[in-house]
Amino acid sequence: MEAPQGEAAPQGHVSNQDHRNGLFHKSELTKTRSGASEMYISVKRTFAHERFRAAGRGGEAVDFQAFRRGSRLWPGACCSQITHSGLPMPETSHRPQMQSAAPAPTPAPIPAPAWLRPGVVVHDPSVIVDRLIVDFAAELRARGFVTQGFARQGAVVIGESPLSIDLSNGKTFVETPQAAEIHLARAIRDGADLFAVGRFPGCTDAARASKLPVGAGAGRGLPLLTTIAGGAIHHWHQFVRHEGSMIAPNRRALWEWWGAERLYDDLALGVAEVETRRIVCGPRWLMVEGPHGAGLAYLPRHPRELLPRLPELSKLSLRALAALCQSWNPLEAAVGVAALNAFYNRVDLDGASGNGVRGFRGAPGPVVVVGAFPGVDSILPDCAIIETDPRPGEYPVAAMESLLPGCGGAIVNSSALINRNLIRILRLARHRPVALIGPSTPLTPRLHDYGLAVLGGFVARDVEGLAQAVRAGAAPKDFSRFGRYIHLSDETSAPNKR
């Protein structure tokens, strides 16, 4: 794992054997027939969808993330099996041209959801919570997600019909008896990320009309959100039976229901359509440079499979490159994370100095460290360390299920963002303060809503010097010469606030 502080080399390197043993992603699962060319074509499809979305379809926006699901880019894309002679690692440059100049191929159709994932906000009968639904949908919409449905605007009535707010655009309209069915049909058609109806009867009518099963299933599910008074909760149980989630009437509970697995979509959607200036690849780290900064990502294995494709990848926009963070192939995911950091960890970003680990000294219980880093024993002498190759006194990865649920806080190496262990960790450490630290950490408040109280990452100052260090195989302790380690904190969930 990467050393998060930049103080010294990591205690243990993630080997190919670790991947073969299933501790991280198994690259064998992502091999495809056409290797590198399929990967490049798939990424171009993603970029094409960006143009498709900008143009609109039938006057309505189409979701970038839903299109990715439609093209099945991430499970199908992989590194080619082409070998490379070894070091020195190449750098690719792309300054004068932009991928948007290329003609966009026809986007793939958006697949219809196969089932509904229901959640209900349970509230006091005397309290109207429609505004909570409206605000939550507006937050998601502002981040780039597609939301559909409606909720009442207080008790306003036009004639005999209530006045409601359209969750796809925030505009008011006069609700009709079939409004819920119409809005759900639109959500299915447009590949929406969320469908919500403020009144439970409308939700059930729409769900039955759609004929989609309620509860977990294969394929893509559509989150369905509604509200119900506590005294009528038996109607909810009759509707979902043993499926569904009951949600407290507050913003934080809604984000927990939304799910940590959505953070990759969220991060990718926040990246602007700007140029990728260059990609620099070393034996252990990868750097992507954008117009306003450079981002790093840890390489979970030798990049020989990635090297032949770097010239083509460098032609993509930073947004299209960042979408690779969702790839099931760890090398492609590293490229995507580096692109995320090139956008979010901009040179002028403000933050407190250091990685924020010292704040966990006041955690109300034992602290679990997933991925050791130099000096952790002196900062947190009683912490429990989880490693892929544990030393005496440390714990294996399998111990996460036992240690994280009852911990006072968790500190996670940012390599977990690349190997996708982060989602599992956030689920296990639910309601506990969690820090993501290391040069691979995207420094954006977007991540706070997914349960990450502290974000400790790296901001490059001398990009050229950093590029040379990456090519030479530098360790995180060497990066501090070319930038600064800072952290962002969510004061409402910091470890010393609990």
CA distance 326 to 344: 17
User: What CATH number belongs to 115-257?
Assistant: 3.40.50
> For position 108, what pLDDT does the model report?
52
Are the C-beta atoms of residues 93 and 78 closer than 8 Å to each other? no
Mean pLDDT of all residues in 49-58: 38
Q: What is the DSSP string of 63-112?
A: -HHHHHHHHTHHHH----------SSPPEEE--S--GGGSPPPPPPPPPP
User: What residues does each domain of the chain span?
Assistant: 1-98+275-498, 115-257
Half-sphere exposure of 315 (CA within 13 A, CB side): 12
For residue 446, is pLDDT > 80? Answer: yes
Q: Find residue 143's DSSP bridge partners.
A: none
> 300, 419 in Cβ contact below 8 A?
yes
Q: Rounded to an integer, what is the distance from CA 84 to the centroid of its chain?
A: 31
Alpha carbon of 135 to those of 196, 345, 359: distances in Å? Answer: 12, 28, 32
8 Å CB contact between 291 and 274:
yes
Ramachandran region, residue 48 (left: φ > 0; alpha: ψ -120 to 50; beta: rest): alpha
Q: Coil, strand, or helix at residue 34? A: coil
**Pair of tokens at residue 274:** 């700007």
CB 98 within 8 A of CB 51: no
Give the pLDDT band of residue 351 (cuts 50, 70, 90): very high
Residue 302 CB-half CA count within 13 A = 12
User: How far lies 425's CA from each of 158, 260, 381, 386, 495, in Å?
Assistant: 49, 10, 22, 12, 16
pLDDT grade for 111, boundaries at 50, 70 and 90: confident
pLDDT of residue 46: 43
Rounded mean pLDDT, 467-491: 96
**Over the stretch 412-435, which tens digit does the pLDDT of each residue have?**
999 999 999 999 999 999 999 999
The pLDDT confidence band at residue 285, using thresholds 50, 70 and 90, is very high
Mean pLDDT of 112-117: 90
Q: Determine the pLDDT at residue 215.
A: 83
Residue 73, CA atoms < 13 Å, CB-side half-sphere: 30
Residue 189 parent element (H or E) = helix 179-190
Q: Tell me if residue 228 falls in helix, strand or coil.
A: strand
Higher pLDDT among residues 158 and 185, named by residue: 185
> What does the mean pLDDT of the chain come to?
82
Alpha helices, DSSP H, located in 211-296: 233-240, 251-258, 263-269
Name beta bridge partners: 162. Answer: 157
Determine the pLDDT at residue 492. Answer: 78
Q: Is the pLDDT of residue 112 over 90?
A: no
- Of 320, 326, 341, the C-alpha closest to 470 is 341
Query: How do residues 194-208 score in pLDDT, each as one tens digit?
Result: 999 999 999 999 999
Our measurement of the distance from residue 243's CA atom to the centroid of its chain's CA atoms, rounded to an integer in Å, reads 25
Tokens in use for 222? 């559509």
The pLDDT assigned to 63 comes to: 41
Rounded Cα distance, 428 and 441, in Å: 20
Q: Is the pLDDT of residue 452 over 50?
A: yes
Burial 181-218 (b: 16+ CB within 10 A, else e): bebbeebbebbbbbbbbbbbebbbbbbeebebebeeee
Of residues 96, 100, 20, the one with CA closest to residue 55: 100
pLDDT in tens, 217-248: 777 899 999 999 999 999 999 999 888 999 99
67-108 pLDDT, tens digit per residue, is 444 433 333 333 333 333 334 445 554 444 444 444 444 445
Q: How confident is the model at residue 55 (pLDDT cuts 50, 70, 90)?
A: very low
Is the pLDDT at 35 greater than 80, yes or no? Answer: no
Residue 218 has a pLDDT of 72
